[in-house]
């Protein structure tokens, strides 16, 4: 028999693992420092905002974004609702992205405002029922503004162990993107590691969180660590960031291909 306690608490355990100090620095992106308390509050507010838009268990939420802290929060919020989350690699062509959006039966597309034009191209080919943007944009509702109107108290997960939690795509040997599905039970087992209090990672993310880096980011947060998010790999920037932010862990550029 499956132990559903840990499985159903997959996102909740990640958030709890971030520690008891709400003022601790949890994520850093382009000079912005986001605390544990701010991140948790954003996740719970987003879950309620997305639910108010009719997004719920079993729906597919597709993410089109760079390495924003808010997109990690959006993924957690969607998972609390029991959604399937599909994260698009933002360097794919609009035609390939649209094919993926269609294949996974996207109900809601959540967009980085810097990629609003690309989102318009994609949805012209493969319309999504709802488009939510992480900030002001010409089209689509501002998810951050919507979330600000909801309470930040913990949102209990609606996911079940057998539900699909994530869909990641790989070109494999054919080059044609193929979806790999993971259930909440599988994710719960993969992230069952807990810290011993002696090691607190500071992870540099310089490859897309749509792939392996996003998976490793969850482990870092669960271990009470800090994520330092860069948009891409640049050797000089990476070396400077490692020194400035006292980085202990990083995802190699080759991981973007996983």
Q: How far is 36 from 236, CA to CA, in rounded Å?
A: 29
Q: Decide if 235 contacts 188 (C-beta within 8 A).
A: no
Residue 180: strand, helix, or coil = strand
The β-bridge relationship of strands 164-170 and 178-183 is: antiparallel
| Confidence at 206, pLDDT banded by 50, 70, 90 | very high
Domain-located, residue 82: yes
- Summarised one tens digit per residue, pLDDT across range 174-198 is 666 777 788 888 877 666 655 556 7
Domain-located, residue 240: yes
- For residue 7 the two structure tokens come to 């499985």
CATH of the domain at 54: 3.40.50.12780
Residue range(s) defining the domain that contains residue 107: 10-257
For residue 237, how many other CB atoms are within 10 A of its CB? Answer: 13
Q: Does an H or E element contain 121, and which? A: helix 116-125
Domain-located, residue 4: no
Domain-located, residue 100: yes
| Confidence at 199, pLDDT banded by 50, 70, 90 | confident
pTM of the model: 0.90
Domain-located, residue 3: no
Q: Check whether 7 has a pLDDT greater than 50.
A: no
Q: How far is 151 from 91, CA to CA, in rounded Å?
A: 35
Overall number of domains in the chain: 1
Q: Decide if 92 contacts 55 (C-beta within 8 A).
A: no
- Summarised one tens digit per residue, pLDDT across range 141-166 is 999 999 999 999 999 999 988 899 99
Domain-located, residue 5: no
- For residue 149 the two structure tokens come to 């109107």
Write the DSSP string, 149-175: TS--S-------TTSEEEEEEE-TTTS
């Amino acid at each position: 028999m499956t132990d559903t306690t840990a499985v159903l608490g997959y996102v909740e355990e990640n958030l709890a693992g971030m520690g008891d100090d709400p003022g601790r620095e949890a994520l850093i992106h382009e000079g912005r420092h986001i605390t544990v308390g701010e991140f948790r509050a954003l996740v719970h507010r987003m879950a309620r905002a997305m639910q108010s838009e009719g997004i719920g268990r079993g729906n597919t939420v597709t993410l089109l974004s760079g390495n924003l802290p808010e997109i990690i929060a959006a993924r957690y919020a969607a998972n609390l609702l029991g959604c399937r989350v599909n994260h698009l690699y933002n360097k794919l062509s609009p035609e390939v992205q649209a094919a993926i959006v269609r294949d996974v039966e996207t109900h809601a597309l959540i967009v980085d405002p810097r990629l609003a034009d690309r989102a318009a191209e994609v949805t012209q080919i493969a319309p999504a029922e709802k488009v939510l943007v992480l900030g002001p944009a010409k089209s689509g509702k501002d998810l951050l503004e919507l979330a600000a109107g909801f309470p930040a108290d913990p949102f209990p997960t609606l996911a079940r162990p057998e539900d699909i939690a994530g869909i990641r795509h790989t070109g494999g040997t054919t080059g044609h993107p193929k979806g790999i599905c993971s259930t909440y039970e599988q994710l719960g087992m993969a992230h069952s590691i807990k810290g011993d209090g002696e090691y607190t990672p500071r992870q540099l993310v310089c490859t897309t969180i749509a792939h392996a880096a996003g998976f490793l980011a969850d482990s870092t947060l669960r271990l009470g660590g800090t994520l330092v998010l860069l948009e891409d790999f640049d050797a000089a920037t990476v070396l400077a960031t490692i020194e400035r932010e006292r980085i202990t862990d990083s995802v190699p550029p080759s991981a973007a291909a996983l």
